[in-house]
Amino acid sequence: EDQVTQSPEALRLQEGESSSLNCSYTVSGLRGLFWYRQDPGKGPEFLFTLYSAGEEKEKERLKATLTKKESFLHITAPKPEDSATYLCAVQEGAQKLVFGQGTRLTINP
């Protein structure tokens, strides 16, 4: 059975303090790894999708990378508006996404 583990569960940073979130997975055949952002009281918002080891995607202060066993979401010089829960998901089979439990990120001004 596919497993997705995110770490840390919660992370508190100062504005401008760069860091990384981790998503480790076990899957027999990776069909896609997805990163979402979720704000309180809202639905997940799509950020990135990665399909093969070595692939990288960037969007503003965020950069997602993928290896054969894990993915990292790097946050460079974060701002308070980057505070959210970040979700990682792995595509299992043709349609199903298996989600990790998320990392709750807080950026203090």
Partner 1 sequence: DAGITQSPRHKVTETGTPVTLRCHQTENHRYMYWYRQDPGHGLRLIHYSYGVKDTDKGEVSDGYSVSRSKTEDFLLTLESATSSQTSVYFCAISESGWVGAKNIQYFGAGTRLSVL
Minimum separation from the CB atom of position 37 to partner 1 (A): 11
For residue 57, what are its two tokens?
């995607």
For residue 59, what are its two tokens?
């969007």
β-pairing verdict for 33-38 and 10-14? unpaired
Q: Is 102 in the site for partner 1 (CB under 8 A)?
A: yes
For residue 11, what are its two tokens?
């992370």
User: What part of residues 5-44 is at the interface with partner 1 (CB under 8 A)?
Assistant: 31-32, 34, 36, 41-44
User: What part of residues 59-88 is at the interface with partner 1 (CB under 8 A)?
Assistant: 87
Q: Alpha-carbon distance 77 to 61, whole Å?
A: 7
Q: Which residues bind partner 1 (CB under 8 A)?
A: 31-32, 34, 36, 41-46, 49, 51, 87, 89, 91, 94-97, 99-102
